């Protein structure tokens, strides 16, 4: 359903082409500093960049209609609403009969019937992540009161990958300098080229977002099932187009020996640290005190302007569909702030659960 989180609960609503999209964040302690401007700043980071992003021009003005008073949370639910302004629904009715490959159209029509709002993908739209980012701004502010910081970047776009092991501050400082959300200017240029090449061919590319969470206390996570990795993974798979999630050495762990994978503990500046971080900051579903290191794989945007093979559901025969409209040739750059917000919401929730916030 459309609510996630336990002690800090996010509910989203709206659809791509309805009146708007919004969210309610419940469980935030009173007294967290947050203003509409702080929220707007995050939401703006999700906007498409000229050239490499969609032409749909949404202002994405966030209205905060509950839960704030004089720059602080009151302890009541916080509500965000973002009106849809630039919608063109004319192109979508055809997809009720000829569902778009790679989209939710077909299973959604089977599940909800013809009452499903298919315009712009309806409730399955990537636009649902805008109010998630708004709520994430509150979670981020919560976490910053405890010295916890989160930063993500485009680690790979198409065939361009940046395998440098950046330290947290380098990522935090540079991640929003380039429209591709690459950390280095060199990689940024390559990634931009990769996107434009696909775009020119009426095609799209995927990529990988890497997200570091720094400053977590030890012990965040609620075993056996509500683990730090499990909760992060569940949240990430809610972001449209995500196909894989891994922590630390991730899939490459499979090929490693235990003697290599196990991160040795060491006392460093009086603190317990590990020499390496193959565990990605998580042991037994709990934060280990090392940075949480998450990678999220995105498939290429399903909407491409080329003709595609599909079926005609009414006639039960093969057909062709052409997806017109305005789309991002690569959603990875816009997804970077979404992954950060999503991570912030999970960390804030589990930190609340673990008693790391006095209430």
Residues 16 to 45 in contact with its own copies, rule: CB under 8 A? 18-22, 24, 26-27, 30-31
DSSP state of 226: B
Which one, 103 or 175, has the nearer CB to its own copies?
103
Angle, in degrees to the nearest 10, between helices 332-353 and 129-144:
50
Residue 218 interacting with its own copies (CB under 8 A): yes
Q: What is the CA radius of gyration of the chain?
A: 21
Torsion sign over Cα 179, 182, 184, 189: negative
Of 274, 340, 350, 351, the one binding its own copies (CB under 8 A) is 274
Number of C-beta neighbours around residue 330 at 10 A: 28
Residue 269 interacting with its own copies (CB under 8 A): no
Angle, in degrees to the nearest 10, between helices 228-238 and 332-353:
140
Residue 229 interacting with its own copies (CB under 8 A): yes
Piece of 141-149, 165-173, 182-190, 219-227 that binds its own copies (CB under 8 A) = 219-227
Piece of 51-59, 162-170, 179-187, 233-241 that binds its own copies (CB under 8 A) = 233-241
In 3D space, the residue among 86, 88, 106 whose CA is nearest the CA of residue 96 turns out to be 106
**Peptide bond just before 224 cis, omega within 30 deg:** yes
Which one, 172 or 236, has the nearer CB to its own copies?
236
Which one, 50 or 225, has the nearer CB to its own copies?
225
Is beta strand 68-69 parallel, antiparallel or unpaired with respect to 207-214? unpaired
Of 74, 91, 146, 196, the one binding its own copies (CB under 8 A) is 74
Residue 310 interacting with its own copies (CB under 8 A): yes
CA dist list (Å): 119 to 14, 195, 242, 305:
12, 26, 21, 17
Residue 302 interacting with its own copies (CB under 8 A): yes
Which one, 75 or 215, has the nearer CB to its own copies?
75
Which one, 123 or 179, has the nearer CB to its own copies?
123
Residue 156 interacting with its own copies (CB under 8 A): yes
Which one, 174 or 301, has the nearer CB to its own copies?
301
Smallest distance from its own copies to CB 320, Å: 10
Assign 22 to helix, strand or coil. strand
Residue 165 interacting with its own copies (CB under 8 A): no
Residue 58 interacting with its own copies (CB under 8 A): no
Residue 264 interacting with its own copies (CB under 8 A): yes
Piece of 48-56, 121-129, 135-143, 168-176 that binds its own copies (CB under 8 A) = 121-129
DSSP-assigned states of every residue in 121-156:
GGGGSGGGHHHHHHHHHHHHHHHHTTT-EEEEEEEE
Residues 314-333 binding its own copies (CB under 8 A) are 316-318
Number of C-beta neighbours around residue 138 at 10 A: 29
Of 15, 54, 141, 174, the one binding its own copies (CB under 8 A) is 15
Q: How many angstroms separate the CA atoms of 296 and 245, rounded?
A: 5
Residue 167 interacting with its own copies (CB under 8 A): no
Of 48, 122, 136, 333, the one binding its own copies (CB under 8 A) is 122
Which one, 172 or 354, has the nearer CB to its own copies?
354
Assign 215 to helix, strand or coil. coil
Of 52, 81, 179, 292, the one binding its own copies (CB under 8 A) is 81
Of 40, 47, 61, 72, the one binding its own copies (CB under 8 A) is 72
Which one, 149 or 327, has the nearer CB to its own copies?
327
CA 266-286-164 angle, 5° bins: 60
Token pair of 194, please?
A: 């990769």
The contact mask relative to its own copies for 131-150 (x = CB under 8 A, - = no) is --------------------
142 in Cβ contact with 359 (< 8 Å): no
Residue 153 interacting with its own copies (CB under 8 A): no
Q: How many angstroms separate the CA atoms of 227 and 113, rounded?
A: 36
């Amino acid at each position: 359903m459309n609510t996630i989180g336990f002690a800090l609960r996010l509910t989203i609503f709206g659809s791509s082409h309805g009146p708007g999209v919004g969210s309610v964040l419940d469980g935030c302690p009173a007294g967290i500093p947050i203003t509409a401007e702080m929220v707007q700043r995050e939401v703006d980071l999700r906007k498409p960049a000229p050239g490499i992003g969609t032409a749909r021009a949404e202002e994405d003005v966030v209205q905060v209609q509950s839960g704030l008073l004089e720059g602080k949370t009151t302890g009541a639910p916080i509500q965000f609403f973002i009106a849809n302004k630039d919608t063109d629904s004319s192109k979508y009715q055809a997809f009720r009969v000829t569902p778009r490959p790679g989209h939710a159209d077909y299973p959604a029509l089977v599940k909800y019937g013809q009452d499903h709002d298919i315009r712009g993908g309806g409730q399955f739209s990537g636009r649902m992540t805008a109010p998630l980012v708004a709520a994430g701004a509150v979670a981020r502010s919560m976490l910053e009161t405890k010295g916890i910081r989160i930063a993500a970047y485009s680690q790979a776009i198409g065939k361009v990958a940046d395998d440098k092991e950046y330290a947290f501050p380098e990522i935090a400082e540079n991640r929003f300098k380039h429209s591709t959300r690459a950390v280095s200017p060199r990689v940024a240029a390559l990634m931009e080229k990769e996107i434009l090449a696909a775009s020119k061919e009426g095609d799209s590319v995927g990529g990988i977002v890497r997200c570091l969470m720094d400053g977590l206390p030890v012990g965040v996570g609620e075993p056996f099932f509500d683990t730090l990795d499990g909760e992060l993974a569940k949240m990430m798979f809610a972001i449209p187009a995500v196909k894989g999630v891994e922590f630390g050495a991730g899939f490459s762990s499979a090929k490693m020996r235990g003697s290599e994978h196990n991160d040795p503990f060491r006392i460093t500046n009086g603190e317990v640290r590990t020499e390496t971080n193959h565990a990605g900051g998580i042991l037994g579903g709990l934060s280990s005190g090392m940075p949480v290191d998450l990678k999220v794989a995105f498939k290429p945007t399903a909407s491409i302007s080329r003709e595609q093979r599909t079926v005609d559901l009414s006639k039960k025969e093969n057909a062709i569909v052409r997806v017109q409209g305005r789309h991002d040739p690569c959603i990875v750059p816009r997804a970077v702030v979404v992954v950060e917000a999503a991570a912030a919401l999970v960390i804030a929730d589990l930190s609340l659960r673990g008693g790391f916030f006095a209430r």
